[in-house]
Amino acid sequence: MNKTTKRLSLTNGSEENPIVDVVNRRFFLRSAGLAAATGAFIMQSCIKDHDLGPGGTGAVNLGTGDIGILNYAYALEQLEAAFYIQVIATPYSGITDKERRFLTDIRDHEVIHREFFKAALGAAAIKGLSPNFTGIDFNSRASVLGAAKTFEDTGVSAYNGAGILIQDPGYLLLAGKIVSVEARHAAIIRDLLMPNTISFAGDDIIDGNGLDLLKRPSEVLPAIAPFIYDTIDASGLPTP
Closest to other proteins by CB, 163 vs 236, is 163
> For residues 155 and 189, what is the distance between their CA atoms, to the nearest angstrom?
13
Shortest spacing between CB 195 and other proteins, in angstroms = 9
Shortest spacing between CB 40 and other proteins, in angstroms = 19
Closest to other proteins by CB, 49 vs 152, is 152
Shortest spacing between CB 215 and other proteins, in angstroms = 11
Shortest spacing between CB 237 and other proteins, in angstroms = 16
- C-alpha dihedral, 21 to 24 to 26 to 29, nearest 10°: -140
Closest to other proteins by CB, 39 vs 59, is 39
Shortest spacing between CB 71 and other proteins, in angstroms = 15
Closest to other proteins by CB, 50 vs 114, is 114
**b vs e for 39-49, b when ≥16 Cβ sit within 10 Å of the residue's Cβ?**
beebbeebeeb
Closest to other proteins by CB, 59 vs 145, is 145
Q: Is the CB of residue 140 less than 8 Å from the CB of residue 92?
A: yes
Shortest spacing between CB 66 and other proteins, in angstroms = 12
Q: Which residues of this chain interact with other proteins, rule CB under 8 A? A: 14-17, 19, 22-23, 26-27, 30-31, 101-102, 105, 108-109, 111-116, 119-120, 156, 159-161, 163-164, 169-174, 176-188, 191, 196-198, 200-202, 206, 208-214, 240
> For residues 191 and 56, what is the distance between their CA atoms, to the nearest angstrom?
45
DSSP 168-219: -HHHHHHHHHHHHHHHHHHHHHHHHHSTTSGGGG-TTTS-TTS------HHH
Q: Is the CB of residue 114 less than 8 Å from the CB of residue 74?
A: yes
> For residues 168 and 82, what is the distance between their CA atoms, to the nearest angstrom?
28
Closest to other proteins by CB, 43 vs 120, is 120
